[in-house]
Amino acid sequence: MRSFDYRCAADRTEALSMADTAQARFLGGGTNLVDLMRQNIEAPAALVDVSRLPAAIEETPDGGLIIGAAVRNSAAAAHPAVRTRYPMLSRAILAGASAQIRNMATIAGNILQRTRCPYFYDAAGSRCNKREPGIGCDAIDGFNRYHAIFGGSEHCIATHPSDMCVALAALDATVHLAGPGGERSVPLLDFHRLPGDHPEIETALRPGELITEIELAPSAAAANSTYRKVRDRSSYAFALVSIAAGLQLVAGKIEHVRIAVGGVAAKPWRATRAEQVLLGQAPTRERFLEAADAELAAARTFDGNAFKVELVKRTTAAVLSELAGVDA
């Protein structure tokens, strides 16, 4: 680990003023950033500690929620309004890591965590365009069991590791930001970027910007929602595939549906094609499989991850069947 300056901010204004260099990074729980620094993958000139900024979960006038960026993951998962009105979010957070990590990690840090691709972490011996643009991607012809089947490019097929963000994608969450240019808001679906020609650019975050809070709008599908994670082992492994879904039935037909998939792309993958197939339809396992097939038509697999197509299909059908109360 290289030397760096450490600064502790008492409030948002002070935090923004302390991030006075393009090489400065904001530090919340540090559960991912510090690991990357130890591996010499990240080498910020300064860390601005924002862990003391206010951390609150508040109601919005229209019945949604505002979750402060500094809220710990464990606090968000346990909050009564999250558990009852957005259960997929609580379950996704609880599926994501050990209790010790959840007690340290913040909402903003979870959103900003970087890929767990082994080639990205192997700075000494592997090529990775995300780590060093233009050097190549060893995952494409290498060990790619955990890699993307949606949205990849010839430069990168890494996946985003967050469980929480999959639920936020299904919930149409909004990321609120503050920076040198003022305040702005970005839909979470647009916050993370697909690799394209620049896999090193992972988010819409601008230099010096700070995530301040996450907003959840009211959702007709959210109350009847869940999160299911399929992984190689049950203890704290990253997802092979995960599904966040919510469903509302009216008069026996699907009135509202939200589906997002994790473990399959460089960002949480919103299954809009599948949602369109299901709207207005009666809930049956066959219809759920048909919807999954519509989404998977765009999948591109590699030697090690072709199994994910069938896994996404079956997991999607199982989750939606559970929510609809039909035989899986």
* Domain assignment of residue 27, yes or no: yes
Say how far apart CA 281 and CA 243 lie, in whole Å. 20
Residue 267 lies in a domain: yes
Q: Provide mean pLDDT across the span 272-284.
A: 98
d(CA 159, CA 77): 23
Report yes or no on 161 lying in a domain. Answer: no
15-29 per-position pLDDT tens digit: 999 987 778 999 999
- Average pLDDT estimate for 31-36: 93
Q: What is the mean pLDDT of the chain?
A: 95
In a domain, 121, yes or no: no
Judge contact between 268 and 172, C-beta under 8 A.
Answer: no
Residue 33 inside a domain? The answer is: yes
Nearest C-alpha neighbor of 110 from the set 33, 41, 44, 200: 33
Domain of residue 268, residue span: 225-324
Residue 108: inside a domain: no
For residue 133, which amino acid is it?
A: P
- Position 37 scores a pLDDT of 93
Asked if residue 105 lies in contact with residue 122, where contact means CB atoms within 8 angstroms, the answer is no
Tokens for 261, please give them: 């998939």
Question: CA-CA distance, 207 to 198, in Å (whole number)?
Answer: 17
Task: Summarize pLDDT for 285-313 with one digit per residue, the tens.
Answer: 999 999 999 999 999 999 999 999 999 99
CA dihedral of 90, 93, 95, 96, whole degrees rounded to 10: 180
Say whether pTM exceeds 0.85: yes
Task: Give me the number of domains the chain comprises.
Answer: 2
pLDDT tens, residue by residue, 251-269: 999 999 999 999 999 999 9
Indicate which CATH number applies to the domain containing 25: 3.30.43.10
Give the model's pLDDT for residue 1.
67
Q: Express as a percent the part of the chain with pLDDT over 90.
A: 93
Last residue of a domain, one of 31, 51, 71: 51
What is the model's pLDDT at position 188? Answer: 98
> How long is the chain?
328
| Closest alpha carbon to 225 in 72, 89, 65 | 89
Spatial separation of the C-alpha atoms in residues 210 and 79, rounded to whole Å: 24
Least confident of 83-87, 113-117, 171-175, 231-235: 231-235
Asked whether residue 229 is assigned to any structural domain, the reply reads yes
58 strand-pairing partners: 66
Question: Can you tell me the distance from the alpha carbon of 251 to that of 248, in angstroms, rounded to the nearest whole number?
Answer: 10
Q: Is 114 a member of any domain?
A: no
* Confidence grade of residue 328 (pLDDT, cut at 50, 70, 90): confident
Position 48 scores a pLDDT of 95
pLDDT digits (tens, 9 = 90+) for 106-152: 999 999 999 999 999 999 999 999 999 999 999 999 999 999 999 99
- Domain CATH number, residue 253: 3.30.390.50
